[in-house]
Amino acid sequence: MYQSLQDSGSSANPYPETASLILIVDDDPFIRLQLRLYLQKEKYQVAEASDGVTALEAYEELHPDLILLDAVMPTMDGFACCKKLSAIPESERPPILMITSLEDQKSVDQAFEAGAADYITKPIHWAVLRQRMRRLIQQFHLQKQQTLLYNQLEAANQQLKYLALIDGLTHVANRRQFDEQLEQEWRRMIRQQTPLSLILCDIDFFKLYNDTYGHQAGDVCLQQVAAALNRSINRSGDLVARYGGEEFVVILADTELEGAIHIVKKIQANIQALEIIHETCPNHYITLSFGISTVIPSQGTLPETLIAAADQALYQAKALGRNTFCTKVHSINKLNG
């Protein structure tokens, strides 16, 4: 078993809490004692292991800032241990300083090939050890700080990207994300020659709802409707977006007209289940009108044709009294309708 500072025979911790932790790996108890006493004098925290196997166990539990590793040990030597540690991601891997009596060129090359950051020979030159330890620990801490800053920057960039593509009120995709995904799916459907469906929907008598219940209630209504729309789709490639005001749009790739109608019926059921009271409209509850368009995109056509067709179908649904859906299919693409 390896030994940490607390179980290495010392009754009190002489090191500052912020001191770097160094793992000593050597099968010679006398060498370990020499190193521990020296490191104690230098105000480092210390853990010890007598071979490569226990060194790996110590690393897994303690995650030291530096490993002082002997090359020649029983069970697992320093070179094999170093190779094992080199499999750890670089941003998390502590530097390894080999301390050994071997000083031939082959052993030095083997140490660096195994992943050692530096190499010194026995008998130990303490001033050299001190400087090399300090340099390696400083580099390791700097690398950890850089990794942390990089991860924080990545997280901030992801958050900014999310905010740029999400409608702040309803938390579904915004118009920008809709435009980008529609263009992307349009090109994909051209290559595959499969149908692309679009659902354009509008909350019936929403201005009257705002006038009756106030804009805060209107905002809550928009959020509830957006959530109901999201619950109505189940494929990762489908997208619900706020198109503008009280209008929403749903992109359904690889979807025939029948599939789009099925989704509209799911949306209607989910909206009905909300039971959002709207006493001043004919149905006394919030309802939606829908325009559905389906097309197999072809070279020379634009996504705007699909939007225009859905808009025409939505206009027809409103003309029929709202709370219904109408469809528009492009016959030029050999779809029936």
Known catalytic residue at 246: yes
Which structure tokens are listed for 332? 């030029």
Residue for token digits 């900014």? 160
Q: Which residues contact 131 (CB under 8 A, 6 or more apart)?
A: none
Which structure tokens are listed for 85? 């540690």
Q: Which of 61, 154, 246, 256 is catalytic?
A: 246
Residue for token digits 């359904």? 252
* Rounded Cα gap, residues 321 and 303, in angstroms: 28
Distances (CA, A) of 86 to 1, 157, 311: 22, 30, 60
* Rounded Cα gap, residues 259 and 199, in angstroms: 11
Question: Edge to edge, what strands does the sheet with 325-329 contain?
Answer: 239-244, 247-253, 196-203, 288-295, 325-329
Q: What is the dihedral of CA 287, 289, 295, 297, to 10 degrees?
A: -80
Q: Which residues are catalytic?
A: 246
